Structure 1
Amino acid sequence: MKRGTLALLLLAMFAMELAACRNNPAPEPRDPPDTPASPQANAVPAPLAVAPTASASAAPPLDAGPPAQPLRPDQPMTADSLPTKDSSGYTMAATLHSAEQPPPPRGPEYPAQAVDTARKKTEPRLTLDLGASRLRMSIASHGFVLPMGTELRARVDRYGHVVLTPDGTSYRIASPGALHALIGERRFDVAPVSPADVNSVGEGTRRLGYRTRKVDVVNRAAHATFEIARVADAGDSGILICRALLDMMNAPSSTPLCGLDEVPMFAELRWTTRGALVFTATTIVRRLDLSATALLMPPPTATFVTGPLPGQGSEILLTGAELHALRAGEHLPEDRPALTLFNSSDVLQFAWLDGIPVAWVAPGSRLEIPSLAKGRGAVEWRTFLGDVVDPPRPVTLPGLSEPGGTDASVP
Structure 2
Amino acid sequence: MKRGTLVPLVLLVLPLVACLAACRSNPTTEPRDPPDTPASPQANAVPAPLAVAPTASASAASSLDAGPPAQPLRPDQPMTADSLPTRDSSGYTMAATLHAELPPLPRGPEYAAAAVETARKKTEPRLTLDLGSSRLRMSIASHGFVLPMGTELRARVDRYGHVVLTPDGASYRIASPGALHALLGERRFDVAPLSPADVNGTGEGARRLGYRTRKVDVVNRAAHATFEIARVADAGDSGILVCRALLDMMNAPPSTPLCSLDEVPMFAELRWTTRGALVFTATTIVRRLDLSATALLMPPPTATFVTSPLPGQGSEILLTGPELHALRTGEHPPEGRPALTLFNSSDVLQFAWLDGIPIAWVAPGGRVEIPALAKGRGSVEWRTYLGDVVDPARPVTLPGLSEPGGTDASVP
Asked whether the two chains share a fold, i.e. TM above 0.5, the reply is yes
Summarize deviations over 1:205-243 as a string: whole Å, max 9, x none.
Answer: 111000001111111111111100000000000000000
- Tell me, in whole angstroms, the C-alpha distance in 2 between the residues paired with 1:15 and 1:244: 61
- Tell me, in whole angstroms, the C-alpha distance in 1 between the residues paired with 2:31 and 2:286: 60
- C-alpha spacing 1:109/1:298, structure 2 compared with 1 (3 Å): same
- Tell me, in whole angstroms, the C-alpha distance in 2 between the residues paired with 1:390 and 1:354: 14
- C-alpha spacing 1:39/1:102, structure 2 compared with 1 (3 Å): closer
1:143 deviates by 0.3
Query: Equivalent residue of 2:101, what SS?
Result: coil
- C-alpha spacing 1:126/1:54, structure 2 compared with 1 (3 Å): farther
Summarize deviations over 1:128-173 as a string: whole Å, max 9, x none.
Answer: 0000000000000000000000000000000000000011111000
- C-alpha spacing 1:351/1:24, structure 2 compared with 1 (3 Å): closer
Further displaced range: 263-272 or 45-54: 45-54
- C-alpha spacing 1:60/1:393, structure 2 compared with 1 (3 Å): same
Further displaced range: 366-375 or 51-60: 51-60
1:291 deviates by 0.4
Which blocks of at least 5 consecutive residues in structure 1 are unaligned?
Answer: none
Query: Equivalent residue of 1:42, what SS?
Result: helix
- Tell me, in whole angstroms, the C-alpha distance in 2 between the residues paired with 1:326 and 1:127: 28
Report the TM-score, using the length of structure 2 for normalisation: 0.85
1:83 deviates by 2.9
1:82 deviates by 3.0
Query: Equivalent residue of 2:42, what SS?
Result: coil
1:333 deviates by 2.6
- Tell me, in whole angstroms, the C-alpha distance in 2 between the residues paired with 1:175 and 1:9: 72
1:335 deviates by 1.1
Give the greater-gyration-radius structure (CA): 1
Further displaced range: 4-13 or 306-315: 4-13
- C-alpha spacing 1:218/1:63, structure 2 compared with 1 (3 Å): farther
Query: Equivalent residue of 2:243, what SS?
Result: helix
- Tell me, in whole angstroms, the C-alpha distance in 2 between the residues paired with 1:179 and 1:303: 21
Alpha-carbon contact 2:49-2:212 (below 8 Å) kept: no
- Tell me, in whole angstroms, the C-alpha distance in 2 between the residues paired with 1:7 and 1:86: 57
Alpha-carbon contact 2:42-2:61 (below 8 Å) kept: no
- C-alpha spacing 1:330/1:79, structure 2 compared with 1 (3 Å): same
Summarize deviations over 1:76-97 as a string: whole Å, max 9, x none.
Answer: 1111113321100000000000
Which blocks of at least 5 consecutive residues in structure 2 are unaligned?
Answer: none
- Tell me, in whole angstroms, the C-alpha distance in 1 between the residues paired with 2:2 and 2:363: 123
Query: Equivalent residue of 1:224, what SS?
Result: strand
- C-alpha spacing 1:287/1:221, structure 2 compared with 1 (3 Å): same
- Tell me, in whole angstroms, the C-alpha distance in 2 between the residues paired with 1:133 and 1:376: 52
- Tell me, in whole angstroms, the C-alpha distance in 2 between the residues paired with 1:3 and 1:141: 88
Further displaced range: 72-81 or 330-339: 330-339
- Tell me, in whole angstroms, the C-alpha distance in 2 between the residues paired with 1:13 and 1:289: 55
The question of 1:84 aligning with 2:86 is answered: yes
Give the number of equivalent residue pairs: 409
- C-alpha spacing 1:43/1:375, structure 2 compared with 1 (3 Å): closer
Summarize deviations over 1:152-205 as a string: whole Å, max 9, x none.
Answer: 000000000000001111100000000000011100000011111111111111
Report the TM-score, using the length of structure 1 for normalisation: 0.86
1:311 deviates by 3.6
